[in-house]
């Protein structure tokens, strides 16, 4: 019985080691994990779900909903970033691999601009509102469809019959409730960010005076996801790295 148990354990261990080798074998042994965020060059806001192509290996990746990515690369690789509404950007990674870059990088994508053709605007007699527009006005002004006194009871399913739910609740209540929850979540997230990225930490990392910190924050908008999930060491390195760009701008 003991010999049978030992054979089973060895067989499972063999399968696990074989699968692990297959996973590791997908990337070269000297691969370097480059980490960073995709942001808009005009807003400094993160861009989620950006398409990332390794030009050499043709491997494809996607940034997460916070714009963050982590991709194994080698010295001669080039990453191509594409997002609808932004210019395509190619990033050779050689300098990051050679220097063993420690903290996340920022990939800034420039927005696309379109030249619209000239149009002539002429005045015409006002037409009678269409049936769809009249219906939209009625739905907007109807007191039955804009009753917000029982949002919580409606959310719990206690607003009456299915017909009353359909008429008195509509999509507007769900939208208002969702907006409220979203605002509360944003407020709570901002509180956590302010507790982590304090003015005192910025002053100690950059040497700025307290009255200069606000201008620095306006320039260097680190993503909330990074601030809340990075280690203390990574956060300080990111503050110092952005401070270098800030000093160049001031010159």
Q: pLDDT value at position 189?
A: 86
Answer yes or no: is pLDDT of 20 > 60: no
Answer yes or no: is pLDDT of 142 > 80: no
90: confidence class by pLDDT, cuts 50, 70, 90: very high
Mean pLDDT of all residues in 167-194: 73
123: confidence class by pLDDT, cuts 50, 70, 90: low
Is residue 60 within 8 Å of residue 52, measured between CB atoms? yes
126: confidence class by pLDDT, cuts 50, 70, 90: low
Q: pLDDT value at position 18?
A: 37
DSSP 8-state secondary structure symbol assigned to residue 103: S
Residue 39 neighbours by CB distance under 10 Å = 20
Mean pLDDT of all residues in 222-249: 85
Answer yes or no: is pLDDT of 110 > 50: yes
Residue for token pair 């691969």: 31
Q: Is the pTM of this model over 0.85?
A: no
Q: Where in the chain is the domain with CATH 2.60.40.10?
A: 27-109
What does the pLDDT look like over 32-53, one tens digit per residue? Answer: 999 999 999 988 899 999 999 9
Is residue 143 within 8 Å of residue 137, measured between CB atoms? no
Q: pLDDT value at position 135?
A: 64
C-alpha–C-alpha distance, residues 68 and 63, integer Å: 5
23: confidence class by pLDDT, cuts 50, 70, 90: very low
Q: pLDDT value at position 114?
A: 72
250: confidence class by pLDDT, cuts 50, 70, 90: confident
Residue for token pair 């190619």: 90
Answer yes or no: is pLDDT of 84 > 80: yes
Mean pLDDT of all residues in 112-140: 66
User: With the CA atoms of 183, 189, 194 and 195 taken in that order, what torsion angle do they form, in degrees rounded to the nearest 10?
Assistant: 140
Q: pLDDT value at position 231?
A: 86
CATH fourth-level superfamily of 27-109: Immunoglobulins (2.60.40.10)
Judged by DSSP in three states, 89 sits in strand
Which token pair is 86?
């932004």
């Amino acid at each position: 019985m003991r010999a049978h148990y030992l054979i089973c354990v060895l067989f499972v261990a063999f399968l696990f080691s074989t699968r692990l080798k297959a996973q590791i074998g997908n990337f070269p042994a000297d691969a370097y994990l480059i980490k960073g965020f995709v942001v808009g060059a005009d807003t400094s806001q993160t861009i989620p779900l950006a398409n990332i192509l390794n030009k050499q290996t043709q491997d494809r990746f996607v940034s997460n909903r916070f714009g963050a990515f982590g991709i194994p690369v080698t010295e001669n690789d080039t990453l191509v970033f594409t997002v609808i509404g932004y210019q395509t950007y190619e990033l050779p990674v050689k300098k990051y691999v050679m220097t063993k870059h420690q903290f996340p990088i920022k990939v800034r994508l420039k927005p696309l601009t379109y030249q619209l053709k000239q149009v002539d605007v002429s005045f015409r007699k006002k037409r009678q509102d269409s049936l769809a527009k009249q219906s939209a006005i009625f739905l907007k002004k109807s007191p039955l469809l804009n009753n917000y006194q029982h949002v919580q009871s409606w959310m719990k399913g206690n607003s009456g019959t299915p017909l009353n739910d359909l008429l008195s609740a509509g999509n507007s209540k769900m939208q208002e409730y969702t907006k409220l929850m979203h605002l509360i979540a944003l407020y709570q997230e901002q509180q956590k960010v302010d507790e982590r990225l304090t003015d005192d930490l910025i002053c100690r990392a950059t040497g700025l005076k307290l009255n200069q910190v606000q201008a620095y924050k306006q320039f260097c908008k680190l993503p909330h996801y990074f601030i809340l999930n990075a280690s203390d060491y990574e956060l300080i390195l990111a503050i110092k790295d952005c401070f270098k760009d800030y000093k160049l701008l001031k010159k």
